[in-house]
Amino acid sequence: MAVEPGRYFDETETITPEARERLQNENLYQAIGYAYRNAPFTRGLLDKAGVRPFSIRTVKDLEMLPIIRKNDLIEAQTASPPFGGLLAFPVAEVERVFISPGPIYEFQSSSIQWFARSMWAAGFRKGDIVVNTFTYHMSPAGTLFHEGLRQCGATVVVMGTGNTDALIKAMLDLQVTGFVGTPTYLMNVIKKAEEAGYNLILKFALKKTWFTGEMLPPSLRHIFEETYHLSTSQAYAVTEPGGAIAYECEEKSGLHLMDDYIVEIVDPQTGRRLKPGEVGEIVVTPIHNKSWGLVRFGTGDLSSLITAPCSCGRTAHKISGIVGRTGDAVKVRGMFVVAKQAEQVLGSFEQVAKFQIIVDRRASRDELCLKIELNSESGDTGKLEADIDKKFQEVCRVKPDKIEFLPPGTIPESHKTLEDIRKWE
């Protein structure tokens, strides 16, 4: 099949899975060796774990190392300011320093193209005029997205946060074609423009949107696409390991992983890698350059790995969207269950008005019960029960032990979606 010219940002997006695996293992080996020699933090980490740098030859070997948390970075930089022994090259080579909450000083040494692939997949090209509504202040967001847009050839309106009236005026005056920001903010902008009497479809040239910072809910995506005829795309980015981790293609069914990182989905309690489809913590090891001596950074975000080939032609594995934070997850018979996943399942059944999940433990076995209130008196719930049971297992990977249909008003108004009532005695 002939590839349409310009469909992909670069050829790395379509290399064979085998070639990618070889490349990633090689880059990982180089990155760990370099960090061990040059970054005292990383050397200390490996020494403490009793791991020699040359033992990390494949992604699987990373399991020998502990997961580093944001707090570890804050402690390291407090104990050994300013960079906490994470800088693997001379300070004079640092191109810029970002300051993230903590504070954590992050440094970058080279120009980067990570966001460009994501912006390209979102359709930004030369000729587009794009408002970048992320902050340019201290944190990496504004600057890095700006560069990604420029690498696609688009013209960037340096907007930053906090001035919606000026933004609306600029969008109109400059006939802006693209929006980069959070989905919530775009919805606010649309509402405010409409309140001011503007017709977004007739008066504005906006066509393309790109989001990060929060996941795009399907309901909001539907409004943007169907009501306002906007194309939508999103990316997953994490500040500490340095940027873009995954990005959406036109299939909009998961986010492709960037080759600049090793991304693992692990059990946050043990650090062990989980199988595709299982929900766990996203753990990131940058292998893109030699700047950070950061290994196995635990993001605290929950997702799952998708290894099935994508029809867009990109060959990198994908992650599903972010389904919660590690604190939200309840482990049921070895699988992490998150309220948001359950909402995704139950929300797709029109008949369901309200639901609650109770996790209990009987005879040394975890039990998961779904309590459901229906919209109206429904005679035969047999088929509904079977459908919910099937979909719940597909998405959450746990079979409900019991599905109970309750009369309206039984589930308390201020209920927790996922209630863990197990007692560990």
Question: Smallest distance from the beta carbon of 249 to Zn ion, in angstroms?
Answer: 3
Altogether, the residues listed in the chain come to a count of 425
**By C-alpha distance, which of 90, 226, 75, 233 is closest to 152?**
233
Please tell me whether residue 411 binds Zn ion under the rule CB under 5 A: no
Please tell me whether residue 316 binds Zn ion under the rule CB under 5 A: no
Question: Smallest distance from the beta carbon of 115 to Zn ion, in angstroms?
Answer: 17
Question: Smallest distance from the beta carbon of 181 to Zn ion, in angstroms?
Answer: 23
Which of 64, 170, 174, 310 is close enough to bind Zn ion by CB under 5 A? 310
The beta strand positions in 309-399, using DSSP E, are: 318-319, 324-325, 330-332, 335-337, 352-362, 365-374
Place of tokens 């902050």: 135
Q: Which residues, in sequence order, are CB contacts of 45 under 8 Å at separation 6+?
A: 65, 66, 68, 295
Q: Residues 108, 113, 114, 116: what is their CA dihedral angle, to the nearest 10 degrees?
A: 140
Residue (165 or 251) nearer to Zn ion, CB: 251
Question: Smallest distance from the beta carbon of 327 to Zn ion, in angstroms?
Answer: 30
Question: Smallest distance from the beta carbon of 309 to Zn ion, in angstroms?
Answer: 9
Question: Smallest distance from the beta carbon of 107 to Zn ion, in angstroms?
Answer: 32
Question: Smallest distance from the beta carbon of 363 to Zn ion, in angstroms?
Answer: 45
Residue (75 or 251) nearer to Zn ion, CB: 251
Please tell me whether residue 174 binds Zn ion under the rule CB under 5 A: no
Please tell me whether residue 171 binds Zn ion under the rule CB under 5 A: no
Q: Which residues, in sequence order, are CB contacts of 385 under 8 Å at separation 6+?
A: 403, 405
Residue (212 or 356) nearer to Zn ion, CB: 212
Please tell me whether residue 172 binds Zn ion under the rule CB under 5 A: no
Tokens of 264: 């693992």
Please tell me whether residue 255 binds Zn ion under the rule CB under 5 A: no
State the DSSP string of 180-245.
Answer: EE-HHHHHHHHHHHHHTT--HHHH----EEEE-SS---HHHHHIIIIIT--EEEEEEEETTTTEEE
Residue (64 or 310) nearer to Zn ion, CB: 310
Would you say 320 and 344 are in contact if contact means Cβ atoms under 8 Å apart? no
Tokens of 234: 């999103």
Question: Smallest distance from the beta carbon of 308 to Zn ion, in angstroms?
Answer: 10
Which range, of 33-41, 258-266, 302-310, 364-372, touches Zn ion by CB under 5 A?
302-310
Other C-beta atoms lying within 10 Å of the C-beta of residue 16 = 9
Q: Which residues, in sequence order, are CB contacts of 348 under 8 Å at separation 6+?
A: 391
Say how many residues touch Zn ion, by CB under 5 A: 5
Residues 195-254 that bind Zn ion (CB under 5 A): 249, 251
Please tell me whether residue 314 binds Zn ion under the rule CB under 5 A: yes
Please tell me whether residue 319 binds Zn ion under the rule CB under 5 A: no
Please tell me whether residue 312 binds Zn ion under the rule CB under 5 A: yes
Please tell me whether residue 117 binds Zn ion under the rule CB under 5 A: no
Residues at the contact surface with Zn ion, assessed by CB under 5 A = 249, 251, 310, 312, 314
